[in-house]
Structure 1
Amino acid sequence: MTPAREAPVRVGVFGLLGSGNLGNDGSLEAVLGYLGRRHPEASVDALCGGPEVVAARYRVPATRLHWYRGEYRTASGAGAIAAKGVGKLVDAVRTAAWVRQHDVVIVPGMGVLEATLPLRPWGFPYALFLLCATGRLFGTRVALVSVGAAPIGNRATRALVRWSARLATYRSYRDAPSRDAMRAMGVDTARDEVYPDLAFALPAPPASGPPGPPGHVCLGVMAFHGGDDDRARAEEIHRRYLDGTTRFVRALVADGRPVRLLTGDGADAPVVAAILDAVGSPLVTAAEADSLTDLMAEMATAEAVVATRYHNLVCALKVGTPTLALSYAAKSDALMARMGLGAYCHPAREVDADRLLEQFRALERGSAQLRRTLTERNLVAARSLERQFTDLSASLFPSGDHTHTHTHTVRETP
């Protein structure tokens, strides 16, 4: 029998992974790449939103995050409400049982400490709190790696997020505003670092594909309805966003520009359909992307990208294509500034097609210099993430420690 001290370290990955959001899955892919390179002996499995997808695509054993399969559907009727309530109790037991089987659990990127999109406190924030609380209880190191955070208005959500962060062993953020937001919520961030988004650690697709048609523009769209505090205006915000982006596409088509519509989540498909129907031009087509690598391959052939979803922006910047952000949160503005394109942001809540077109033309005029800037910033991002992986290994994988102990580093005692 292999002695316990020689047993492989048991690593779990946690989050809304395999659920249709390409950005979340890209963050998982980056962490799996890090583990494969630096800790190939580790035994890895997942507690996630889409276990079938994660198991099939990444060959990682996976367990469903929530006992109740309708967790993220609005409960209607006493039966559904009761099932959700029971599910919260069952999930506490299931999460604890899963966590105690691991030495380390990694939450790979994602906006797990924010509510910039509609979010209920007893959904994912509660699940994250269960993870971090049971990690502290059982001595399992929990790492929030290059995560996003933002100010949260809802008191229950804010409390769950704050305690989750406090209970984690390791925290790092994908931008400075995220760290500032957690500090404002009462978390001691003195030893927390800021690194680029994990997707910058993914390999860029090979530059061997055919070039796009002359003037080719990629437009990343989103089923955008505002944030958690915008529920009363959600439909108005969505109509303005859709109308502005549709008018922008019409203007490009009038100039003879081919437009390729991209998404980052299955929920975005109706926006693509609405634009295709409204514009009705063969110059406007839609791509089917199953991963961030697919998105990068599309964007690498474009002359310019305009995008809303955060990881659409990451992909475009990663491949060095001049990019304009339809920004819906501080994370988008921070990302664009970090990559040297801070001047090219446009508010997603107030899309003005004429102003957007002016900004787009300015972006194209500066294209050559922007491509050089992106090449330089991507090198900086890659080096920064390698430093994070070194720090992560030192914090989570002490030499020879492959069993549960209570001697690991705790960044903060609540």
Structure 2
Amino acid sequence: MSAPDGPPRVAFFGLLGSGNIGNQGSLDAMLAYVRDRHPEAVISCICSGPAELERQYRIPAVPITWYQQHGPGRSRVTTIVRKSFGKFADAVRMRFVVRQYDMIIVPGMGVFETTLDLRPWGWPYALFLMALWARLSGVRTAFVNVGANVPSERSMRWLFAATARLATYRSFRDEYSRNALRVMGVDTAHDDVGPDLAFALPEPRRSVQSSAESSVAARRTVGLGVMTYRGSSADRARADEIYTTYTAKIVEFARWLVDEGYRIRLVTGDPSDTEVVEAVYADLRQTRPNLVEVRLVHEPADTLEELMDQLTQVDVVVASRYHNVVAALKLAKPTVSISYGVKSDLLMEQMQLAEFRQPIQGLDVDRLIDQFRALESRAVSVAPVLRDRTAEFAAALDKQYDVLSEVLFGSGRGHRAADGNSATADRQGE
């Protein structure tokens, strides 16, 4: 615990530093909030990629798990033993990790979601241990504008609900997420709902076009956001089939765009997405060899800011990853969402673009082409609506930060989670 007059020690907790730029964008937003409003705070991270995070942000970071810290064994057997031992070691180790801080913030992200493949004793277990030891140690915890859904596995539901109940403060990025925790038995009546944290990020720097780009500036450019999608936890038996089908349809759509004279800027959100990028390039090199180098471009982005900077150079966006969609909408780009979760559908509804979405499983390329054409024809009228909505989102986040400051940095008498208020009360008595 810090001395009464010492600076508050803040840790950000999450799957950070592993290359997912959506998660990094949520961290960027919360870092900016803490540094702007509480510059005296001493900041650290508990994350999945501490070395990379320290390199990017120049702030100290520690791994979430014992296994991350010590690494695999020299054989498959010793690796399994280390992973198994690590689960028991984490139950003790996490206590000493969280006691170093006065508050722990989980910045956005789909921390209570199972839209992608997830196992109970991985991330959900680590999240629960953090929340448990934080409560027992009197450390305040805030889950800020996180995503959630109701898992099919009973163990996952229990871990998510137990974790949420231990929080000092909870807020969700949409009503669906708040309701998911309510269905799991958590009293969310006093919890906030706010926009995705990425809407608090500043506008990106406008890139200076290279001479090569200037020569094709008159050609309309489509931002095609791809992901290595293999389904959710319920789809493990069909994961390869799902990936192959999705990738084939993305390749087919990319080929149509090139044939129609468009230029494509491929965008991603995670290092694994390069698999689909390579599939698009491979197909066009074979089927459109004279066009691939002049009509297709891909520049890896390490941050959400870099991704948004790239998207300033496109006219229309068609994207799968949630934060590709968020980034495009924040820039008022007409966007079609290939949705792998309810979160994307809800966001498109909020942006009055509900008719321009499709589920990722069951993606219909002919329908996608029709949606693309219809959206492109309405681009001029769509952009002002998107700008108004993003301005509203930014203002809502600014007000929400007032509440968060009161709960975490102030007297603690402000808004707090109904099931997690004893942690705040304990801190007030110290």
TM-score normalised by L of structure 1 = 0.94
- Partners of 1:360 and 1:92 lie apart in 2 by 50
- Partners of 2:71 and 2:254 lie apart in 1 by 33
CA RMSD in angstroms comes to 2.2
> Is contact 1:200-1:381 (8 Å) kept?
yes
* 1:230 maps to which of 225, 229, 235: 235
Name the structure 1 match of 2:427.
none
> Is contact 2:63-2:69 (8 Å) kept?
no
Give the drift of 1:185. 0.9
Name the structure 1 match of 2:5.
6
Partner secondary structure for residue 205 of structure 1: coil
* Counterpart check, 1:390 vs 2:395: no
* Counterpart check, 1:411 vs 2:410: no
Name the structure 2 match of 1:362.
374
Name the structure 2 match of 1:204.
203
Name the structure 2 match of 1:216.
221
* Counterpart check, 1:36 vs 2:35: yes
- Partners of 1:223 and 1:377 lie apart in 2 by 30
- Partners of 2:71 and 2:329 lie apart in 1 by 31
- Partners of 1:67 and 1:407 lie apart in 2 by 36
- Partners of 1:392 and 1:246 lie apart in 2 by 44
> Is contact 1:49-1:64 (8 Å) kept?
yes
Q: How does 1:12-411 map to 2 (within 5 A)?
A: 12-69=11-68, 77-207=76-206, 209-210=208-209, 212=217, 214-280=219-285, 281-282=292-293, 283-399=295-411, 411=418
- Partners of 1:348 and 1:23 lie apart in 2 by 19
- Partners of 1:72 and 1:302 lie apart in 2 by 42
Which runs of 5 or more structure 1 residues have no equivalent in the other structure?
none
Partner secondary structure for residue 171 of structure 1: strand
> Is contact 1:340-1:377 (8 Å) kept?
no
Give the drift of 1:126. 0.5
> Is contact 1:218-1:304 (8 Å) kept?
yes
> Is contact 2:190-2:415 (8 Å) kept?
no
Amino acid at match of 1:336: M
- Partners of 2:70 and 2:230 lie apart in 1 by 20
- Partners of 1:72 and 1:163 lie apart in 2 by 29
- Partners of 2:200 and 2:416 lie apart in 1 by 25
Amino acid at match of 1:264: G
Partner secondary structure for residue 208 of structure 2: coil
Partner secondary structure for residue 113 of structure 1: coil
% same residue: 47
> Is contact 2:315-2:333 (8 Å) kept?
yes
Amino acid at match of 2:38: H
Which runs of 5 or more structure 2 residues have no equivalent in the other structure?
286-291, 423-430
- Partners of 1:235 and 1:142 lie apart in 2 by 38
Amino acid at match of 1:355: R
Amino acid at match of 2:138: G
Amino acid at match of 1:150: N
Partner secondary structure for residue 144 of structure 1: strand
> Is contact 1:168-1:411 (8 Å) kept?
no
Q: 1:230 to 1:306 in 2, by over 3 A?
A: same
> Is contact 2:227-2:321 (8 Å) kept?
yes
> Is contact 1:339-1:374 (8 Å) kept?
yes
> Is contact 2:207-2:309 (8 Å) kept?
no
